[in-house]
Amino acid sequence: MKTKRVLLALLAGLLVISSTGCGNGEKQTASDNGAYNIVWYNGFSPSDDNDMVFEAISQKTMEKINATVTAVPIQSADYAEKIKMLIAANEKMDLLFMSRTNGYVTLAAQKAFLPVDDLLKSHGQDILNLIPDHIFDGAKYQGKIYAVPVLKDWPHEPVLRYNTMMAEKYNFDMESVKSLADLTPMLQTIKDNEPDWLPILNRGDSPLFKLLPFENISGSSIAGFKLDDYSKIVNKFDTDEAREYFKLMRDWYQKGFIKKDAATATNDTEWYQSGKFFAAYSESLPYLEDQINLNVAEHKLTKFLHGLVPPQLGTFDVQGCMNSISALSKNPEKTMEFLNLLYTDKEIKNMVNLGIEGKHYVAVGENQYDFPEGVTKSSETGYDGVGYESMVGNRFLSRIRVGIAEDIWEKYKEFNESALVSEALGFVFDAAPVINEITALENVYSEYMPSLLVGAVDPDEVLPKALEKMKVAGIDKVLEEMNNQYQAWKANK
Amino acid sequence: MLKTEKFKPTKKIKKDELAVAVTGVPLWVKIILYVITTGLAISTLIPLLLTVSISLMDADALATHGYTLFPKEISFEAYKYILNNGAKIWRSYGVTIFVTISGTILGLAMMTLYAYAISRKYFPWRNTFTFFIFFTMLFNGGTVPSYIVITQILHLQDKIWVLILCGCLSTMYILIMRTYMQTSIPDAVVESAKIDGAGEFLCYYKIVLPMAVPTIATIALFLAIAYWNAWYPGFLYILQNEDIVPIQLLLKRIENQVQFLNSNASSLSYAESEKLRQSLPSDAVKMCLVVMIALPILIAYPFFQRFFIRGITIGAVKG
Amino acid sequence: MKFFKDLKKSAPLLIMMLPVVVYYLLFNYLPMFGTLIAFKNFNYVDGFFKSPWVGLKNFEFLFQSADAFIITRNTLLYNLVFIFLGMFLSICLAITYDLLGRSKLNRVNQTLAMFPHFISWVIATYFVTALLDIDKGVLNRIITTFGGEPIEWYSESTYWPIIIVVCYIWKTIGYNSIIYYSNIKGFDIEYYEAARIDGASWFQQIIYITFPLLKSIAIIMGILAIGSAFYSDFGLFYLVPKNSGALYNVTSTIDTYVYNGLRQGGNLGMTTATGLYQSLVGFALVITTNAIVRKVSPENALF
């Protein structure tokens, strides 16, 4: 009986707590004076002061475009799953973050977004002026723009990162490395002399293979372009480059340069934390090495080896960060005007990034910022928005953290210019006609490729088997369909 | 009429006499059985110790020593990382405790009523209603349609009710209770009560419920565990109301985010995640999360064990 | 007329059932319109009802593959083993816990056995790796100390049916045994007393009293499990073998196949179609099983 009473009391108490807790759950979203309230979903961690910051932003937007903004942050890891749900449930939504990994092509095909070609001309002129046409091409689906790319560093440059301490200790001439095979003697040295160290990191989900001159295509893990031949789409694994790579990996694997469980590993976190590996795959950006090397132990100092493949700019890259307008938006015009502001209005863009000046950050000069006294990370300020920097609008309007090179945006712009622009930029494969074959092929891929990619199995024996199974699963049909679509796209361009 | 004393004769009998039904088990058999069950327990104890141990190690120690049963140097880094959320954590524990208790009570009340009805042999539509609930076990519309119903028709998003109602009923539990009520409660008991003039509800409340305590305790345990572990309803239906985030969801968010940043699937470019990669806590945080989830339940289990006591049935029949 | 008579007689029971009925209608039956998308080319503008029909196109990918036989066989066989072996061992464990009484050790053992239920397969995979890792794994270290050759566990498919089953049993047995344990606790002790007077040994008491009394709950649990015989626990078949390609012929199930296949551009229709296919087969299996049970022992049939 006693326990019963205690339970009841507990329950009653909790009810009170929870009801008071729920009281402030209702949030003021509609504005009183009839101005349109833009609801903006984005893939970013919710912060405590989110509402406060966006109320301040709304004051600015009221002046400029007579609209208010409510941001609904969803943490990036959950975004892909949740946004589909929200769209399907007709949740009120005007602007939303979109990218390749969040299912841009699938959602565009399912008519989740508004095509914005005309809206850009009428309400987003500045965006059109700021972003080159070929970048817009990358964001197109079936000839229409369903998402506005963020103005930022677009290309990616695959590089090999290596440990400078080891390179100096053994006097490696890294500049002489022109291909992966040139690394073999160096890896051997590490293997022989440093028992605690792993010569090179590789994984079944393909890191080192990315250093080969191929461009991937959304919708298939197997098909791709060769960087030097954009006339047709090929099976990446049925090429001389791939064969050579498999042989090299087999050699490295047997010599113990690659960890034994590489084929099934999904991350290398422990290695990154200990820092005891000589080389690994990475992607470069201007000044990135400096940022990686900031405050790390001496044995972790890292350098990038450029030149194995050029910086590349393809459909994949453009679709990394974009923003779409929902097909069900009640006021797409205002939404586009707000988006336009994020590309042109330095004040608003920085409020989105950093919060309220004096409270969440301290302005330093015209272009820099620092955190308030005693704060070292953006997550400690109450408003953690630095991720917005590259997720919406014009990145180059953002204030730069004190300590980071002030000309970083200039360097990023140069980087944009330096990239090899893919001839297939803007080509999006529609998998629907061959979806059954694609499903089967993806299974063949995950059955054979991870172990081939790290050299865990003998390519002479397993590769022919894998290729044969791809044939059975319909690789020829898929490549034919892809090439037909590609030729048709090229003819229309 | 029914008197409550009738249901308490167990107290007159020593508990130990009722504890074991099968008697006369030779010592050597008992020893073998102890060895087997203890072996099973150890096979779970080692991972449990390992979990606690990893949660107390820092990344460098993990990389150099690997997993060890007892941490060489104790570090509370992972716990600090999680408790960084401060007040949020305790509020979330509060939400979870509230949802667990109220949900379990609500679920039990509804399910026992239903189970009682379909366990009555004289109820003509008992098969129909069994099938009615069973059908949903096999067929469901999927997450998206459920989401639409709950948010667009019932408007439960961002309300604590959604956490209580989602998963409050389970076909399996109802059927387990029905089976228990059919087999372990003699019809004679209920019938005699009816002859005495007791209505359905009185039979349910005064006779069947007290006699079904072991199975109700089981279901209560299962329900409470399920509520305790549930993060998916919160994940789906909490959009803006951060005040009702249950502890599991809070922990799941941390885990998801760590895993997400470790993989290449992130919408950050590879280059940007390169910066984060070295500073991310991983294994220790994951294990720390497990400790924070599993320990409260393992500690609470003996409370439920108390209800698995034989004897109540006999009392009722003899009375 | 009989209907109204029944209705009057059952009115109190029907009222008692009302909350659950309402709940099921709202939360379970109402969303079933969603299965429509299995037959549709879904788009967000037209929604569930107006999107164009595509017939059975969303189902095709499940049957066209060369692996369709392997994945179906794996899914079914593992589930059969899980249902029968898992249930048998859970019952034995429950009986054992009951037999050993209220000693401290026994209660601690019982509590600990539940622990695996609380860890996700992600975490369980860590422990499996700790055992099976090529260099650092406990098993290989034991093998090598006795002079054996280390085994590459993640590329030797012969061992995996056993590994999978052991993992499953380890993770579920403690938790599942609670159901049977609480049922045993509900048995009338007089049966046992009567048996002892007749001179039954402890073993005979288990065989002739406990087992038969557990029959109805075991049958119910069995039927329920058979309903999901076409589903597989994704974590067990994907994470534990680390999606290792060399093991596909024994670890690939319908769920992992669909997951691997739809990573690049699958759609809601195909996922729903898969679920519907699994449900339909499960439904057929349950109806059949229930019909057989009804013939053999009518009082134990589910409906």
For residue C22, give the H/E element and its range.
helix C2-24
Q: Which residues of A touch B153 (CB under 8 A)?
A: none
Judge whether residue A20 has pLDDT over 50. no
* Tens of pLDDT, residues B265-304: 444 556 566 656 555 556 777 778 778 877 887 788 777 7
**Whether C192 and B24 lie within 8 Å, measured CB to CB:** no
- pLDDT at position B86 is 64
CB contact under 8 A, C23 and B44: no
Number of domains in chain C: 1
pLDDT of B317 = 41
Q: Which member of B134, B168, B214 has the closest CB to residue C303?
A: B134
Which chains neighbour B (Cβ–Cβ under 8 Å, 3 or more pairs)?
A, C
Which of B100, B65, B60, B93 is closest to B77 using CA atoms? B60
SS3 A144: strand
Q: Residue A148 is which amino acid?
A: V
- Domains, chain B, in order of start with CATH, read 78-318 (1.10.3720.10)
pLDDT score at B262: 65
**Cβ within 8 Å, pair A101-B144:** no
**Which of B243, B264, B280 shows the shortest C-beta gap to A25?**
B243
Neighbouring C-alpha atoms within 13 Å toward the C-beta of B262: 20
* B146 and A CB contact within 8 Å: no
CA distances from C59 to A435, C39, C46 (A): 11, 8, 21
Which residues of chain A lie closer than 8 angstroms to C250, CB-CB?
none
Instruction: Indicate which CATH number applies to the domain containing A78.
Output: 3.40.190.10
**Nearest residue in chain C measured CA to CA from A448:** C245
pLDDT at A421: 93
**How many residue contacts between B and C have a Cβ separation below 8 Å?**
285
Contact B152 A89 (CB under 8 A): yes
| Residue of A11, A82, A321 lying closest to B101 (CB–CB) | A11
> Chain B contacts of A18, Cβ < 8 Å?
94-95, 98, 160, 244
> Which range marks the domain in which residue C147 is found?
61-300
Q: How far is C260 from chain A (nearest CA, A)?
A: 6
- Which pairs from C50-56 meet CB under 8 Å and 24+ separation? C54/C269
CB pairs under 8 A between A and B: 147
Please check whether residue A267 touches B, CB under 8 A.
yes
Q: Does A466 touch chain C (CB under 8 A)?
A: no
Torsion over CA: A240, A241, A245, A248 (sign): positive
The residue among C111, C213, C276, C280 with the most chain B CBs within 10 A of its CB, best to mutate, is C111
Q: Predicted ipTM?
A: 0.86
Q: In this structure, what DSSP letter does residue A113 have? A: B
Residues with Cβ within 8 Å of B261's Cβ and at least 6 positions away in sequence, in order, are: A77, B268, B273, B276, B277, B280
Q: Please answer yes or no on whether B144 and A76 come within 8 Å at the CB atom.
A: no
Q: What residues in B contact C172, CB-CB < 8 Å?
A: none
Starting at the earlier edge strand, list the strands of the sheet with A214-217: A214-217, A220-226, A229-235
d(CA B263, CA B256): 11
A447: contact with C, CB 8 A cutoff: yes
Phi–psi pair at C181, nearest 5 degrees: -60, -45
Q: Tell me the shortest Cα–Cα distance from B175 to chain A, in angstroms.
A: 27
Contacts of A106 in chain C (CB under 8 A): 265-267
The beta-strand segments (E) located in A130-244 are: 140-141, 144-145, 148-149, 157-163, 198-200, 214-217, 220-226, 229-235
Within-domain flag for C33: no
Question: What is the extent of the structural domain holding A383?
Answer: 34-154+315-419
Residue A5 has pLDDT above 60, yes or no: no
The residue type of B104 is: T
Question: Per the domain annotation, does A466 fall within a domain?
Answer: no
How far is it, in rounded angstroms, from Cα C79 to Cα A484?
44
Contact C302 B134 (CB under 8 A): yes
Question: Could you tell me which chains touch chain A, where touching means 3 or more CB pairs under 8 A?
Answer: B, C
Q: Going by C-beta distance under 8 Å and a sequence separation of 6 or more, which residues neighbour residue A460?
A: none
pTM of the predicted protein model: 0.86
Pick the range with the lowest mean pLDDT from A17-31, A152-166, B123-137, B183-197. A17-31
Would you state the structure tokens that stand for residue B264, as one six-digit string? 């290449």
Cβ pair A261:C45 closer than 8 A: no
Tokens of A377: 């990370």
For residue B243, what pLDDT band results from cuts at 50, 70 and 90?
confident
Whether A233 is covered by a domain: the verdict is no
Question: Residue A484 falls within a domain, yes or no?
Answer: no
> Is the CB of residue B215 less than 8 Å away from at least one CB of chain C?
yes
Is there a contact between B271 and A17 if contact means CB atoms under 8 Å apart?
Answer: no
pLDDT of A183-226, one tens digit each? 999 999 999 999 989 999 998 887 899 999 999 988 889 999 99
Those residues with Cβ within 8 angstroms of residue B282's Cβ, 6 or more apart along the chain or in another chain: A267, A269, A270, A273, B59, B258, B262
Confidence of residue B308 (pLDDT cuts 50, 70, 90): low
| Radius of gyration in angstroms for the set of CA atoms belonging to chain C, rounded to a whole number | 24
Q: Which B positions 118-137 lie with beta carbon below 8 A of chain C?
A: 118, 120, 122-125, 127-134, 136-137
Whether A216 is in a domain gets the answer no
Q: What is the mean pLDDT of residues A421-431?
A: 91
Chain A: nearest CA to B169, how far in angstroms? 20
What is the pLDDT of chain B when averaged over all its residues? 80
Q: In terms of CA atoms, which chain B residue is nearest residue A287?
A: B271
> Do the domain assignments include residue A437?
no
Does the pLDDT of residue A7 top 60, yes or no?
Answer: no
- Summarize pLDDT for A438-448 with one digit per residue, the tens: 999 999 999 99
Residue B9 and residue B29: Cα distance in Å, rounded? Answer: 33
Confirm whether A370 is domain-assigned.
yes
| Closest of B133, B172, B226 to residue C221, by C-alpha | B172
Return phi, psi of residue A10, to 5°.
-60, -45
Q: A101 to chain C: nearest residue by CA?
A: C264
B255 vs C214 pLDDT, higher one: C214
Q: What is the pLDDT along chain C (303 residues), one digit of tens a residue?
A: 788 888 888 899 999 999 999 999 999 999 998 888 899 988 888 888 888 999 999 999 888 878 889 999 999 999 999 999 999 999 999 999 989 887 889 988 988 898 888 778 887 888 888 888 887 788 888 898 998 888 989 989 999 999 999 999 999 999 899 889 988 888 878 888 889 889 889 999 999 999 999 998 999 999 999 998 999 999 999 999 999 999 999 999 999 999 888 877 667 888 889 999 999 999 999 999 999 999 998 888 888
How close C261 gets to chain A, by Cα (Å)?
A: 4
Partners of B147 on chain A (C-beta within 8 Å) are 85, 88-89
pLDDT at position B267 is 43
Nearest by CB to A78, which of B105, B148, B235?
Answer: B235
Across the interface, whether the CB atoms of A18 and B236 are under 8 A apart is answered no
Q: Could you report how far apart the first and last alpha carbons of chain A are, in Å? A: 80
C107 in any annotated domain = yes
pLDDT of res. C22: 96
* Region class of A256: left (phi > 0), else alpha (psi between -120 and 50), else beta: left
- Residue C37 located in a structural domain: no
Alpha carbon of B46 to those of B66, B188, C175: distances in Å? 15, 49, 18
Mutate to test the interface with C, among B43, B131, B172, B184 (most CBs of C within 10 A): B184
Task: Please indicate, yes or no, if residue A375 is contained in any of the structural domains.
Answer: yes
Task: Report residue C292 as tokens.
Answer: 């057989």
Residues 96 through 115 of chain B touching chain A, CB cutoff 8 Å: 97-98, 101-102, 105
Residue A464 lies in a domain: no
What is residue A25's predicted lDDT score, i.e. its pLDDT?
Answer: 37
Which residue type sits at B169? L
Nearest CA in chain C to A429: C265
Please indicate, yes or no, if residue C161 is contained in any of the structural domains. yes
Q: How many domains does chain A have?
A: 1
Under 8 Å between Cβ of B147 and A86: no
Q: Which of C66, C135, C265 lies at the smallest CB-CB distance from A105?
A: C265
Complete DSSP assignment for C192-254: HHHHHHTT--HHHHIIIIIHHHHHHHHHHHHHHHHHTTT---HIIIIITTTT-GGGHHHH--H
